[in-house]
Amino acid sequence: MAEKEMRVEKHPVLGVMGRGRRVTIFLDGEPITACEGEPVAAALYAAGRRVTRYTRKGHEARGPFCMIGRCTECSMVLEGWGMVRTCMTPVREGMRIWTPGRKGG
């Protein structure tokens, strides 16, 4: 899914939605364009990525469920920090995010 398609450009009620400046973050080493200040989970969705982690036992893909910091399904590893809830973690330029449980990473 192309990034342009996943962002709301003009909204009938909200108009043109305000966003932070475009920056690059890294998902498992791969560069992804994101908007500064938006939650990492939203940036991943905008890039068409919705797997946030794989379960330890069954290697099942998981993605965000609540988007308000309650369910912890969106937990990922923020390099230099540790496990974070990506729906509550704002994008900063150059941050490196790793998918827990990803094989061949």
Contacts to other proteins by CB under 8 A? 1, 5-8, 11-14, 17, 19, 38-39, 42-43, 45-46, 50-52, 60-71, 73, 88, 90
Structure tokens at 73: 């399904």
Q: How far is the CB of 27 from other proteins (least distance, A)?
A: 14
State which residue, 25 or 39, has the beta carbon closest to other proteins.
39
Q: How many other β-carbons are positioned within 10 Å of the β-carbon of residue 99?
A: 19
State which residue, 62 or 75, has the beta carbon closest to other proteins.
62
Distance CA 78, CA 2 (A): 24
Q: How many other β-carbons are positioned within 10 Å of the β-carbon of residue 44?
A: 27
